[in-house]
Chain A
């Protein structure tokens, strides 16, 4: 390989699915990831799952970050399944926002790689997304 994996910036989709429009958190996280040298596709709220799948494929992102502040995290397992069905099982999905503690395990069982609660530090978010992006890159076919 002439280009090292870490020489290519991680590509991350930051989005919101469902009906909740509180997008401040997702904007802050998008800026964190950008400032850590990643390439971030930002969409704004109210996305449909089929659109998120299409976008994940077209943009060939490594990680999808879903911001959820009003129970939208409950439909994230649906997104994970839709990504798998589209042949995008290597893409890592993370959730950030308000997720009750007792639902974290359920999400993780259903394919969510990480849940970030309020108060998660910038360093933790950046390091985790960076690591997940590298995992995704290793699993995805080259062409």
Chain B
């Protein structure tokens, strides 16, 4: 436990070695990862998270490289997540996006991490959200996520980042076709890259024409022509992203949808049963929560080990706090637990819950309960229905 809090201090303080190891821990879902992520939540929210997607060959990596250069010229610290595909047969991967970003290798203000998509479809690795959390907490001003270029099925990215850049390029045959469904709708900024090639203007016109057919929204995605080779349009792109971030922040404030990191702190004291069991909060907020309790004599079953219901209650409490941490009431509708190891009297148990998915109506969570020695004593999955009422911030009702 002290391991994790020391790591959090070092990471937030800007230590690159700790950052690198923390990223590996969350990428590989190591036992400390949940606690670490829960503890990092309160340090997040400072980064502008930008996703870059588009068909293979449109120049995503080269564009990312140029955008990093532009951000560095503006004094921003930049974290980069470059996702490449894994082999479905062997699980192996060659991660080559960095080949186009070498000019930033020795820059202390840039931290690049390659991620293999592993078995995840949708153009992202399963751990992407957690990796973003860690880079955000490490003090990056901008976090850039480059997806696997797979074409139409990449709407995942839009759910993961603040601003989505969809990149297209002229001369790729029916390239507009490739982005018209699905990912065109999720674009916050459209880029026509390789603007130095013939027909670039025509490609941009087609995109503008398609956008003009959509209903008018508060944010109209601009179409920006860039040449990552010559830096043409890169300032415009950085400006457009800044504008999108500013406007999204205003909108968030208006809708009250900014997650309050302190919801678990407010909710746990209202939970009479958790109080009865002596459960205390370690960290929580933004879909995560970690809680702890010590197993006492009154928690022991007829077999002389901790009653499964006690372990379940601890996991359930973490689940409840995590699922209600967005400030919106959520009610459990299903839960499942597995107990791989026994728990004995005087063991201290830690339950860490993390959000696996959250849609409009339902959300799912995974909870891991560990003993003092770090061994996993229970794994728990649960689903909530999102009721949608705002949590009451103060009263004891």
Contacts and interface: CB of A to CB of B under 8 A. Distances in A.
Interface string B72-95: 000000000000001100111111
Contact of A43 (B7, B32, B99): B99
Contact size class for A? 35 or more
Contacts of A87: 17
Given A9-B116, A143-B36, A40 B95 contact: yes
A50 B108 CA distance: 11
Contacts of A33: 92
A48 to B, nearest CB: 7
Interface string A8-33: 11000000000000000000001101
A59 B113 contact: yes
B31 interface: yes
B25 A142 contact: yes
A40 B99 CA distance: 13
A58 interface: yes
A29 to B, nearest CB: 11
Interface residues of B, number: 41
A57 interface: yes
A123 interface: no
A40 B92 contact: yes
A36 B92 contact: yes
A35 B95 contact: no
Q: Which of B4, B23, B105, B368 gathers the greatest number of chain A CB atoms within 10 Å?
A: B105
Contact of A48 (B3, B32, B98, B106): B106
A50 B106 CA distance: 7
Interface in B32-89: 32, 36, 86-87
B235 interface: no
Contact of B105 (A35, A37, A54): A54
A8 B196 CA distance: 43
B86 to A, nearest CB: 8
A33 B94 CA distance: 9
Interface of B is mostly: mixed
A59 B93 CA distance: 14
B114 interface: yes
A94 interface: no
B219 to A, nearest CB: 33
A119 interface: no
A40 B93 contact: yes
Interface in B8-31: 16-18, 20-25, 28-31
Contact of B32 (A31, A42, A57, A143): A143
A38 interface: yes
A100 interface: no
Given A57-B16, A143-B21, A35 B30 contact: no
A25 to B, nearest CB: 15
Contacts of B32: 142-143
B94 A42 contact: yes
B21 A140 contact: yes
Given A3-B29, A39-B95, A58 B102 contact: no
A37 B93 CA distance: 7
A57 B105 CA distance: 11
Contact of B94 (A8, A40, A59, A143): A40
Contact of A55 (B30, B87, B93, B105): B105
A141 B24 CA distance: 11
A60 interface: yes
A121 interface: no
B378 to A, nearest CB: 11
Contacts of B25: 142-143
A55 B114 CA distance: 10
A58 B92 contact: no
Contacts of B20: 57-60
A41 interface: yes
A39 B31 contact: no
A44 interface: yes
Interface in B86-128: 86-87, 90-96, 98-99, 102, 105-106, 111-114, 116
Contacts of A31: 94
Contacts of B106: 48, 50-51, 54
B232 interface: no
20 contacts: A1-B30, A1-B31, A3-B28, A3-B30, A35-B90, A36-B92, A37-B87, A39-B93, A40-B94, A40-B95, A41-B95, A43-B98, A51-B102, A60-B23, A60-B24, A141-B21, A142-B3, A142-B30, A143-B7, A143-B18
5 closest pairs, A vs B, by CB?
A34-B92, A51-B105, A143-B7, A37-B90, A60-B20
Given A1-B374, A36-B92, A143-B4, 14 more contacts: A2-B31, A2-B379, A34-B93, A37-B90, A37-B92, A40-B94, A41-B114, A43-B99, A44-B99, A48-B106, A57-B20, A59-B112, A142-B21, A142-B32
